[in-house]
């Protein structure tokens, strides 16, 4: 009988992954036998997609999530503030190579129509943040530069009902790097849609965060298995440099 209990990564294996403590030995064996989970690589002109990193999801200060949720109904608490410096480093690396950075934000939900299906799953969806900052504001440490694109969206995927694809075409993007929140919601759905449009996709695990640590781990495992390369920031940056990735768009 197979052992379906979660296990830590085997001794001597590669560096620990976020899902090591929740994925079973059987899951690992199935992944290996299926041929899934291979590295797909990255193109020569990737775009960084920063998904929904606003005060609505970070809160306005580092604090435990249950405290932050009292004032920001969607806050992810401390884990957001742990990720912010790494997201800032990734953004700086992209800008230094003249590579595009696109941000998304959750569009305002002011009534039942704009809330849509969210209202069926969240009884605080129309609750206002009890704060003195705009929940839709992107924190200063990762704020967009002038001319960088910011897309407001209604649903989890950055692609659904937005102009994102047209911008990617105009920018001659050939692959997508994803950072942001929540890992199990908007990051995962954006990653699946990027895959569906045949973009090589990279999700930067330590530049993503979620209010549920379990959901974060399982979503990263699922993305890694089927849809994206899931890597750490310190793995991605040398890859960009070694590949000679620059911002010069290919001629048409």
Task: pLDDT tens for the chain, 252 residues: list them.
Answer: 344 444 443 444 468 899 999 999 999 999 999 999 999 999 999 999 999 999 999 999 999 999 998 888 899 999 999 999 999 999 999 999 999 999 999 876 555 556 565 555 555 555 655 567 888 999 999 999 999 999 999 899 999 999 999 999 999 999 999 999 999 999 999 999 999 999 999 999 999 999 999 999 999 999 999 999 999 999 999 988 876 677 766 544
Please indicate, yes or no, if residue 11 is contained in any of the structural domains. no
Which tokens belong to 40?
């797909």
Please indicate, yes or no, if residue 14 is contained in any of the structural domains. no
Please indicate, yes or no, if residue 120 is contained in any of the structural domains. yes
Domain that holds residue 128: 41-242
Q: How many domains does the chain have?
A: 1
142, 88 Cβ separation under 8 angstroms: yes
Catalytic residues: 186
Whole-angstrom Cα distance, residue 42 to residue 194? 13
Closest by Cα among 22, 109, 124, 118 to 69:
124
Whole-angstrom Cα distance, residue 207 to residue 193? 19
Please indicate, yes or no, if residue 25 is contained in any of the structural domains. no
Please indicate, yes or no, if residue 154 is contained in any of the structural domains. yes
Give the number of other CB atoms < 10 A from CB of residue 187. Answer: 31
Judged on CB neighbours under 10 Å (0-12, 13-18, 19+), 178 is buried
User: CB under 8 Å, gap of 24 or more: what pairs does 127-132 form?
Assistant: 127/73, 129/55, 129/56, 129/71, 129/72, 129/73, 130/70, 130/71, 131/55, 131/60, 131/71, 131/72, 132/60
210, 180 Cβ separation under 8 angstroms: no
Q: How far apart are the first and last CA of the chain?
A: 57
DSSP calls for 55-104: HHHH-SS---HHHHTTT-TT--THHHHHHHHHHHHHHHHHHHTT--EEEE
Please indicate, yes or no, if residue 24 is contained in any of the structural domains. no
Please indicate, yes or no, if residue 8 is contained in any of the structural domains. no
Judged on CB neighbours under 10 Å (0-12, 13-18, 19+), 33 is exposed
19: cis peptide before it, omega within 30°?
no
Whole-angstrom Cα distance, residue 69 to residue 103? 23
CATH of the domain at 145: 3.40.50.850
- What Cα–Cα distance (Å) separates residue 125 from each residue in 54, 136, 187? 16, 14, 19
């Amino acid at each position: 009988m197979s052992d379906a209990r979660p296990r830590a990564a085997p001794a001597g294996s590669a560096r620990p992954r976020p899902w090591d403590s929740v994925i079973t030995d059987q899951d690992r064996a199935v992944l290996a036998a299926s041929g899934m989970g291979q590295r797909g690589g990255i193109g020569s002109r990737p775009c960084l997609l920063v998904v929904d990193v606003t005060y609505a999801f970070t809160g306005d200060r580092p604090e435990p999530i249950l405290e932050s949720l009292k004032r920001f109904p969607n806050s992810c608490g401390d884990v957001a503030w742990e990720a912010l410096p790494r997201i800032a480093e990734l953004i700086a690396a992209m800008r230094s190579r003249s590579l595009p950075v696109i941000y998304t934000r959750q569009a305002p939900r002011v009534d039942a129509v704009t809330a849509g299906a969210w209202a069926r799953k969240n009884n605080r969806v129309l609750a206002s943040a009890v704060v003195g900052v705009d929940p839709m504001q992107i924190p200063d440490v990762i704020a967009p530069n002038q001319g960088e694109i910011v897309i407001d969206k209604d649903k989890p995927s950055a692609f659904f009902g937005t102009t994102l694809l047209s911008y990617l075409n105009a920018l001659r993007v050939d692959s997508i790097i994803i950072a942001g929140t929540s890992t199990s919601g908007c990051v995962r759905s954006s990653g699946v849609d990027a895959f569906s449009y045949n973009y090589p996709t990279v999700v930067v695990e330590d530049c993503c965060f979620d209010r549920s640590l379990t959901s974060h781990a399982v979503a990263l495992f699922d993305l890694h298995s089927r849809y994206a390369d899931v890597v750490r920031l310190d793995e991605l940056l040398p890859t960009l440099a070694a590949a000679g990735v620059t911002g010069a768009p290919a001629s048409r």
